[in-house]
Structure 1
């Protein structure tokens, strides 16, 4: 009996010793699930802010600090940053940033912040929070950046889709957006016309194919709108939403980019007309000097622009710039015309047969770009054709006339 009492007492002591440890182990599992929210940020004035931005906010259920998981971190001082940027090898990374820091940054820039709390199940919320925490570890944080296929918004989209068992991709992949990568990029850049023109010039035909809503969600504001329509198990994915920081009158993204085909045509026609008139007045030194400037500048622009397009196609991984049809308008061959055009200031200037054929070839390339617009999936380059076709045609005609005519008599 005494032995039984000793055994019971020892068992009770062991049980009492085990209970606190078991309770401590059970506490994290019994803590409320984290709350996950999608944060969307207004476009900013700097060129890399023009697409807008987004992130995922995790509010842990255990009372620890709320973190904003931001996939948009890059470092100008990263080794070979600008070379990697040019080659299409740019690295971005994920970082967990405190909420006050995030809000202070966007408030200082006058950019709105919109929050959408997501109605995830406890299992889904824990899974997503664990994924983000693991993804933010130094050994996992970096990723290869792509403007359209792998940016801050697509990473957020993919994390949500993974958590929802592929529901987003299934719903959005077959849903036409009515847009293209070019249309989205140019409209987002259009508040800064120089950036919009640069984007339109550098993008090739791959940027003009129709894209689905899934692909269009590379734009943060598109993802923000798209999640509103998502239902999971019959319930809306967005539980509640609203502005954390209201709009402050900064540059908003327009619904579409401004059209500039007519202005480009007028400018090209004006330049072509000036070249014709000045060529007819070549007996005057002032006319020859003006002709020299107006012929050299577009030829230099065309040639250097073509070299950039050719380099983007052959030397980089920027797939959206490959096989750019603007090479028919921005022709590297134009650089070969410059020595001949430089002689146009002389009254005795007579371009040789090779230069005349070269100018004709450049003009033919510009002309060829016009019927290409009729082909399915054609690159949208009509404004560039409107400007360059008359300019290249007149330069070719002037060289032909100068090569066949005797030297002009001077006064």
Structure 2
């Protein structure tokens, strides 16, 4: 998951008991067929920012040890001192908790998030090894971990737990397999219906989000973990090949629409942003002769470009947000625009304008080489706006 699952204190609003919940109750009350069971739990998406990537957990039922708990790695504390500073610098800390299945499932049902449960074909020793790994990571002194959007999120932790229990078999199976999409494509498709969020993430993601990935890396998404284990087979000590998942059921079907398999290209929306930006920059320069009103649009865009580019530069140079490093959007949201503020011409302004133009040209040239960043939507918006700014600067310098 790209954003954290909230440490929620909301009141669980009761809903009418209908037939679609009966399967949850039966599973909660039914004694395990085996003495030990491990279920992979996968939760669907919802409208909150932190819910748009889905979530997962592991449910352990061990009658002999008296364990019936869901291990969830998706908690953080807004009230923790320094939380927002840690978030800004990419040092945010998550923690894991074990809680009752009734509490776990009630929450996701209340949030109208689908609940998928997969019973794993693990022997007693493997389930206990998995349980010990999970128990060691929910203790007060060991439950915290440094969160990373793509490489150490809640789903990565579940993946690593399963891989440990399987003796590395999950990594061996998934690392040679190419992912269905890179990080950016997955991110775009999951947030595409929230345009402000899409805009912010698309502006902030750097080149690493476009690299080809393996299924192992793709398992930062809970749905990919679920589908990967569903297609995996394990080898018994007798040499028999058996499916890893022996029971796959939906405990709750959400009424929400499912995320698309591929993202839409928001060309019309970004084209509209580009045209609107051009109008706001150029029209005052055409309508007014006095410098102050004539430059209000251009200076407004200078603020946007300088602040946006400054933030991208800050994320690259001073934070641990690896996903934001080497961001080609810096060629389009250029902090050097601030040097044009006076619109007086001169060596410094001319150098800044030349470098801004070269940056835009470079953004196009980079597309000719392998590994270029996918930022065509941002280019549709930002290139016309930057050209408009340079045109006003050229026309109004004195």
TM range (shorter): 0.7 to 0.9
Matched with 1:153 is 155
Matched with 1:109 is 111
Matched with 1:25 is none
Q: Equivalent residue of 2:341, what SS?
A: helix
Matched with 2:340 is 337
Matched with 2:371 is 377
Alpha-carbon shift at residue 253 of structure 1 (Å)? 2.1
Q: Say yes or no: does 1:326 pair with 2:329.
A: yes
Alpha-carbon shift at residue 256 of structure 1 (Å)? 2.3
Q: Could you say if the C-alpha distance between residues 254 and 289 of structure 1 is closer, same or farther in structure 2, counting changes exceeding 3 Å?
A: farther
8 Å CA contact 1:216, 1:222 repeated in 2: yes
Matched with 2:312 is 309
Of residues 198, 201, 217, the one that matches 2:200 is 198
Matches within 5 A, 1:45-194: 45-62=47-64, 64-194=66-196
Of residues 235, 238, 247, the one that matches 2:242 is 235
> Which stretch of the first structure deviates more once superposed, 175-184 or 35-44?
175-184
Of residues 268, 271, 274, the one that matches 2:274 is 268
For 2:299 and 2:358, the matched residues in 1 are separated by 19
For 1:94 and 1:125, the matched residues in 2 are separated by 19
Of residues 362, 368, 373, the one that matches 2:362 is 368
Alpha-carbon shift at residue 394 of structure 1 (Å)? 2.8
Structure 1, unpaired ranges of 5+: 1-30, 341-349, 405-411
Q: Could you say if the C-alpha distance between residues 198 and 251 of structure 1 is closer, same or farther in structure 2, counting changes exceeding 3 Å?
A: farther
Aligned length: 361
Alpha-carbon shift at residue 322 of structure 1 (Å)? 0.9
Of residues 257, 260, 265, the one that matches 1:259 is 265
Q: Could you say if the C-alpha distance between residues 152 and 140 of structure 1 is closer, same or farther in structure 2, counting changes exceeding 3 Å?
A: same
Matches within 5 A, 1:295-306: 295-306=298-309
Larger radius of gyration: 1
User: Superposition RMSD on alpha carbons, in Å?
Assistant: 2.2
Q: Could you say if the C-alpha distance between residues 74 and 270 of structure 1 is closer, same or farther in structure 2, counting changes exceeding 3 Å?
A: closer
Q: Could you say if the C-alpha distance between residues 359 and 95 of structure 1 is closer, same or farther in structure 2, counting changes exceeding 3 Å?
A: same
Alpha-carbon shift at residue 357 of structure 1 (Å)? 3.8
Q: Deviations over 1:182-233 (max 9, x none)?
A: 1112211222111111111101101110111111111001111111100112
8 Å CA contact 1:154, 1:218 repeated in 2: yes
For 2:34 and 2:252, the matched residues in 1 are separated by 27
Q: Deviations over 1:382-408 (max 9, x none)?
A: 12222222222232233223337xxxx
Q: Could you say if the C-alpha distance between residues 314 and 353 of structure 1 is closer, same or farther in structure 2, counting changes exceeding 3 Å?
A: closer
For 1:32 and 1:42, the matched residues in 2 are separated by 28
Q: Equivalent residue of 2:352, what SS?
A: helix
For 1:106 and 1:274, the matched residues in 2 are separated by 45
> Which stretch of the first structure deviates more once superposed, 161-170 or 392-401?
392-401
For 1:79 and 1:275, the matched residues in 2 are separated by 42
Matched with 1:246 is 253
Alpha-carbon shift at residue 274 of structure 1 (Å)? 6.5
More helix by share: 1
- TM-score, normalised to structure 1's length? 0.82
8 Å CA contact 1:217, 1:223 repeated in 2: yes
- TM-score, normalised to structure 2's length? 0.85
For 2:58 and 2:215, the matched residues in 1 are separated by 20
Structure 2, unpaired ranges of 5+: 1-32, 236-240
